[in-house]
Structure 1
Amino acid sequence: MLIARTPGALPLPTADALACSAALRSRIVAEIDAAGGWIGFDRFMDLALYTPGMGYYAGGAHKFGAAGDFLTAPELSDVFAQALGAQVAQLLALGAPQIIEVGAGSGQLAADLLLELERRDRLPERYCILELSGELRARQHATLSTRVPQFLPLLRWLECLPEDFDGLVLANEVLDAMPVHLVVWNGEGIAERGVAVDSGQFTWRDRPAGGRLRERAQALTAACAIAPGYLSEISLLAPAWIAQWAAILRRGALLLIDYGFPRHEYYHPQRDAGTLMCHYRQHAHGEPFYLPGLQDITAHVDFTAIVEAGCEAGLELLGYSTQASFLFNCGLTEILARTPASEPLRYLPLASAVQKLISPAEMGELFKVIALGKGISEPLLGFANGDRSATL
């Protein structure tokens, strides 16, 4: 469980980690100087997370699991993949039997999911992993080689989107790590909050918003009755990414799992400071300038924007629900029952993990599951009860 802390109370990194962060910081400062003294926050976030060899997702820091910066659902327990496997098996039966997992983290989900699909006699013909980080590709290959070497002939690693695809595109906690713009609605209009350097330190600086960002912000002003003094994020990248997949996908589905809200909840009047959050050593805080390259920077997902982008590009909304509802629909209760309560050493850790996955106070309500697709002829079992599509 993440603990909210101020940066001053966070664990100290090693000297080597500090040196890597300092190098990335110098790289960002140089780009700000070259750009005339200001870059949008989306660019700062992109550099902090994805600069080759130095960014958070492109460097060597341990990110996932209890020893990393945050826990994802697949790291909690294999019951997540076992339940997800029911939905994946149905989609593979309805479309082409291929999977692309985007941003596969440590490889844990791929290993657990392949084992569950084997149990269901529904292994894909190919399991591709789209991963931009060479360091993470190596970790994934190590995980899968150790845990499921029998499936290595099915596996392929991709470094870019394919030209076309039939099958399932699976993405767990990918959208939240896509760079976002910061926008301020003030008495003078709509401003984009960016990053400058003052006395050697990163600082916030606002400029009038322009182009597509201003258009999106103006539309939100009317749709959500946003008042002056409001700060939030707008993602232009995530909807564009969905539209890219819509052009690539010939038949099949996108199954996306992430934390976020429908638009009317995302831009609620009480959420006037946005959703930006940083994760470091199982602690959460709100200071994105802290040790660039050593911490994750995320923002919640506007699922209404995701659906709009997909539907405008030719996809169909197949379902939208909380993670808890989705997992129950996929047989989580029956999966838990496979482990007898009379064996407490096995059952109690499993029950604790399931509680984190489904509890409204943990991941069950905040995390959502959404499916968009083409040529899918049957209702998806993961959304049989508790479908919240009408809220988008």
Structure 2
Amino acid sequence: MDLPVPSTDALAYSAALSDHIAREIDAAGGWIGFDRFMDLALYAPAQGYYSGGAHKFGAQGDFVTAPELGPVFAQSLAAQAVQLLRLGSPQIIEVGAGSGQLAVDLLRELERCGSLPDSYAILELSGELQARQRQAISAQAPQLLSRVRWLERLPECFDGLVLANEVLDAMPVHLVVWKSTGVVERGVAIDNGRFAWVDRPASGRLLERALALAAECDMPPGYLSEVSLAAQAWVAAWATRLGRGALLLIDYGFPRREYYHPQRSSGTLMCHYRHHAHGEPFYLPGLQDITAHVDFTAIVESGCWAGLELLGYSTQSSFLFNCGLAEVLARTPASDGRRYLPLAGAANKLVSPAEMGELFKVIALGRGISEPLLGFSSGDRSATL
């Protein structure tokens, strides 16, 4: 792979995490599931990708998320937030707030339209990211910092809006291969001092889910893909805690029959390092992001089985236009090219089918919401799930 060369310190950081993972593999008898490898690579305390100190978001990091493109994403999203705060409770929890830019822009827009929540909590496990989020809010919206608090675990109960942008894709996944002889789980072992793929028969809950998927989808022998039991459990856990309100989840993925399409026979696992995308998860653990697309059908099933209602499902493009993206852009005169052109460029990336507009989806699950949601007023694709 032709990727940027890390610094000496970064290589040492990755080597330390690799040693940590290798010791865990040894302690587990020589093999761990890929879900555990991914969990350690991303979240091992003080060593994982999201736990360490490297820049991850924006031009100086490894990838760009919607909030990093500019304020138009949050300014459009705010219209949906206002409705949900009115229908539920005036509280927001943002999960995995990244650089903190979404919190900054969303709070500023809610302040502009007189709809600030009573509290804005950020659920963030990384102390390093908490510090960066606090710094971003302090620098760009200091008058709103007092409304923000940080959580390290899910609350016991909550009424209001739970917002998660690009969170589900970073949850650990199992790798599964459907063979003519049965279902196997692809895991990680050590071979000559290097991480290596080793398959073992799938068992337990994973085998149950894999067999159910095979009964529903056409998977030829040798078909490899992901099963995200963690994302399903996460949604179900919120369902036991949410009173009146909604989960608003934004991520890239497909309905199940598209996700497990026969032609998508190598899965969706992808790694991101310095704005280069590749498929080698063993490359420099701790220095790169590891993601998988979201099976949105599984997300809906988990939420609804746990008592939530599907409130809407659409492309990011439809959702943002329904929420007033065009009106947000119109606030800045097109004649003011210095200000308008960056906003228009960001908007194009957010809604273009060739960029984020079609691949990224928005899904809402809730309880006690008494009217249709603005973001899904046209272009709702719930029937495809």
Q: Tell me if TM exceeds 0.5.
A: yes
Question: TM-score with structure 2 length normalisation?
Answer: 0.99
CA distance in 2, matches of 1:219, 1:131: 33
Match of 2:327 among 327, 334, 340: 334
Is it true that 1:62 corresponds to 2:62 in the alignment?
Answer: no
Question: Aligned residue for 1:359?
Answer: 352
Pick which of 381-390 and 8-17 moved more: 8-17
Question: Aligned residue for 2:114?
Answer: 121
Question: TM-score with structure 1 length normalisation?
Answer: 0.98
Is it true that 1:36 corresponds to 2:63 in the alignment?
Answer: no
Q: Deviations over 1:12-62 (max 9, x none)?
A: 111111100000000011111111111000000000000011100000010
Structure 2 portions without partners, runs of 5+: none
Counterpart mapping for 1:1-392 below 5 A: 8-392=1-385
> What secondary structure does 1:220 align onto?
helix
Contact 1:221/1:227 (CA < 8 Å) preserved in 2?
no
Question: Aligned residue for 1:4?
Answer: none
Pick which of 348-357 and 229-238 moved more: 348-357
CA distance in 2, matches of 1:113, 1:141: 15
CA distance in 2, matches of 1:145, 1:186: 54
**Alignment length (residue pairs):** 385
CA distance in 2, matches of 1:366, 1:312: 26
CA distance in 1, matches of 2:218, 2:45: 40
Shift of 1:375: 0.3
CA distance in 2, matches of 1:342, 1:313: 51
CA distance in 1, matches of 2:21, 2:78: 41
Quick one: which amino acid aligns to residue 369 of structure 1? V
Shift of 1:340: 1.2
Quick one: which amino acid aligns to residue 211 of structure 1? G
Q: Deviations over 1:334-362 (max 9, x none)?
A: 11111111111111111111110001110
CA distance in 2, matches of 1:370, 1:21: 35
Shift of 1:153: 1.5
Quick one: which amino acid aligns to residue 68 of structure 2? E
User: RMSD in angstroms over aligned alpha carbons?
Assistant: 0.6
Identity percentage over the alignment? Answer: 76
> What secondary structure does 1:357 align onto?
helix
Quick one: which amino acid aligns to residue 42 of structure 1? D
Pick which of 310-319 and 221-230 moved more: 221-230
Shift of 1:187: 1.8
Structure 1 portions without partners, runs of 5+: 1-7
CA distance in 2, matches of 1:102, 1:224: 32
> What secondary structure does 1:9 align onto?
coil
Q: Deviations over 1:63-118 (max 9, x none)?
A: 00111000000000100000000000000011110000000001000010001101
Quick one: which amino acid aligns to residue 116 of structure 1? E
Quick one: which amino acid aligns to residue 302 of structure 2? A
Q: Deviations over 1:259-304 (max 9, x none)?
A: 0000000000010000000000011000000000000000000000
- Structure 1 runs of 4+ aligned residues shifted over 3 Å read none
Shift of 1:322: 0.2
Contact 1:89/1:120 (CA < 8 Å) preserved in 2?
no
